[in-house]
C-alpha cells in the first residue's frame, strides 16, 4: 500500500509582539515561533517544524503571520479541533485566527506574492496608556502632503540599501518593489500602509522614519531619490520604533494584492470594529 500523502496546513496567526524577541526562534529568547512550536510539540508529542512567512522583529505585531506545517499522523487531531486546542494552550498575546488545508507543495513564505505592513502614529496630546504599546506617539505637526510626496519617490523597483540596517547583504539582494505606500488620517492617528513584494531588515521602519522626518519639513522629500540612487545609509532620520508596526496581510493571489486597501486601525480591524 502507498503511504498516506503528507498533509500541509496553513495557520493564520495574530500576536502582540511586545513580550517577544521577534518571530524567529532564537536559543534562550522568547519568540513567537518558539512558543508555537512548543505548543504543537506538546499536543502531538513530537517536534513539529513550522515555517513562517515573515521574520518580524522584536516588539513588532502581526495580524496575519502565515505559517505552514505538516501535522504528524498520530495523534490524529482534526483540523477543526486544533485551532481551539492551540488557543487554549497559547498565551493570551498569541492567537490562532484560522487553520486550513493547502496543497502539499504550498509554502507560507515562498508562495507569497507580496505583503502589507501598516504603521500607526498617534498625534494626540494625551499619550493614552491604552495605545502606547501599539503606536509611535508623535506630537510634532506632520505635513501629510510632504509625506505623500516622499512616499511617491520610494514606490517602484529600487535598491533599498539606504533603507535597511543590514550592510552585509550582496547588492542584488537589496532590490525590492514597493507597489503602494498609502498614508491616511484616522482620528488622531496617521496610518501608513506599505505594500510590496518583500522587505529588507527594518526596511519598513526606516521608510516610516524618513516619511515622518519629511512630514516635519526637516528633510527634503527629494533626498529619498538621492538615497535610492547612491545607496547611501544615513543617520539624518530615525528608524521608527517597533511597537507601531504590524504585519497586516500576506498575499497569495494577484487579485488580493492588487485590490487590497486598509480600512481601519490595525487592532480595530482584527476585532471587526468600525473605525
Annotated catalytic residues are: 57
Cα(187)–Cα(183) distance, rounded to whole angstroms? 13
With CA atoms as reference, report the closest residue to 249 among 63, 111, 14.
63
End-to-end alpha carbon distance in the chain:
56
With CA atoms as reference, report the closest residue to 250 among 118, 134, 151.
118
β-bridge partners, 45: none
**Cα within 13 Å of Cα(185), Cβ side:** 11
Helices (H), ranges, 45-107: 79-89
Query: Chain-centre distance of CA 202, in angstroms?
Result: 10
Cell 529568547: give the residue: 29
Cα(230)–Cα(161) distance, rounded to whole angstroms? 9
Cα(162)–Cα(83) distance, rounded to whole angstroms? 41
> In sequence order, what E strands does 166-266 have?
175-186, 189-196, 245-251
- Note the residue count of the chain: 275
Element (H, E) at 68: strand 61-69
CB 209 within 8 Å of CB 240: yes
Amino acid at each position: 500500500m502507498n503511504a498516506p500523502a503528507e498533509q500541509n496546513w496553513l495557520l493564520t496567526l495574530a500576536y502582540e509582539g511586545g513580550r517577544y524577541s521577534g518571530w524567529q526562534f532564537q536559543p534562550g529568547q522568547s519568540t513567537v515561533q518558539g512558543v508555537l512550536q512548543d505548543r504543537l510539540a506538546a499536543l502531538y508529542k513530537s517536534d513539529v517544524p513550522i515555517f513562517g512567512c515573515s521574520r518580524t522583529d522584536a516588539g513588532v505585531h502581526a495580524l496575519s503571520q502565515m505559517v505552514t506545517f505538516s501535522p504528524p499522523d498520530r495523534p490524529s487531531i482534526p483540523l477543526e479541533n486544533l485551532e481551539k486546542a492551540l488557543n487554549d494552550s497559547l498565551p493570551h498575546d498569541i492567537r490562532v485566527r484560522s487553520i486550513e488545508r493547502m496543497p502539499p507543495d504550498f509554502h507560507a513564505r515562498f508562495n507569497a506574492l507580496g505583503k502589507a505592513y501598516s504603521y500607526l502614529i498617534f498625534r494626540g496630546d494625551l499619550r493614552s496608556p491604552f495605545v502606547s504599546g501599539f503606536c509611535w506617539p508623535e506630537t510634532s505637526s506632520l505635513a501629510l502632503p510632504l509625506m505623500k510626496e516622499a512616499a511617491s519617490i520610494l514606490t517602484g523597483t529600487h535598491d533599498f540599501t539606504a533603507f535597511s540596517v543590514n550592510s552585509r547583504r550582496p547588492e542584488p539582494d537589496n532590490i525590492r518593489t514597493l507597489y503602494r505606500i498609502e498614508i491616511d488620517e484616522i482620528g488622531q492617528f496617521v496610518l501608513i500602509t506599505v505594500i510590496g513584494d518583500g522587505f529588507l531588515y527594518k526596511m519598513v521602519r526606516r521608510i516610516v522614519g524618513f516619511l515622518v522626518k519629511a512630514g516635519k519639513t526637516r528633510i527634503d522629500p527629494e533626498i529619498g531619490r538621492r538615497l535610492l540612487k547612491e545607496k547611501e545609509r544615513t543617520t539624518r532620520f530615525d528608524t521608527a520604533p517597533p511597537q507601531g508596526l504590524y504585519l497586516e496581510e500576506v498575499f497569495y493571489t494577484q487579485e488580493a494584492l492588487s485590490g487590497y486597501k486598509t480600512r481601519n486601525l490595525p487592532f480595530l480591524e482584527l476585532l471587526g470594529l468600525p473605525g
